[in-house]
Amino acid sequence: MNRRTSRRGTERVMLATSIALAIWWVVVLAPDAEAYIDPSAGGMLVQLLLAGTAGVAVLVRLFWVRIKRLFGASDSAEPGAPSSGTDRHDGV
């Protein structure tokens, strides 16, 4: 087993453990909560949701090529097509 396969296996175990703990937290501990949410706590919850949404958007942007490849989409740039003007060597 090489290092990359070992690392992926460790990441999968950590992800599965995190998901299991989150589900346990929601199922076991959340039903017993009887709490008052004041306006400032509600504002913090809204900020948390907005920050989470922004974080997911950043992750999608960072891994967009991998996500497209996962669903079978190919890159739009063809190998023989000229790229943007930054790679040209015009002598300028």
The model carries a pTM of 0.40
- Give the residue with greater pLDDT, 30 vs 13: 13
**pLDDT at residue 83, rounded to an integer:** 53
Averaged pLDDT, 38-53 = 92
On the question of pLDDT at 79 being above 80, the answer is no
- Give the residue with greater pLDDT, 85 vs 20: 20
On the question of pLDDT at 58 being above 80, the answer is yes
Q: Are 51 and 57 contacting, i.e. CB atoms less than 8 angstroms apart?
A: no
Q: Are 67 and 60 contacting, i.e. CB atoms less than 8 angstroms apart?
A: yes
Averaged pLDDT, 22-40 = 79
Query: Rounded to 5 degrees, what are φ and ψ at 87?
Result: -95, -5
**pLDDT at residue 18, rounded to an integer:** 92
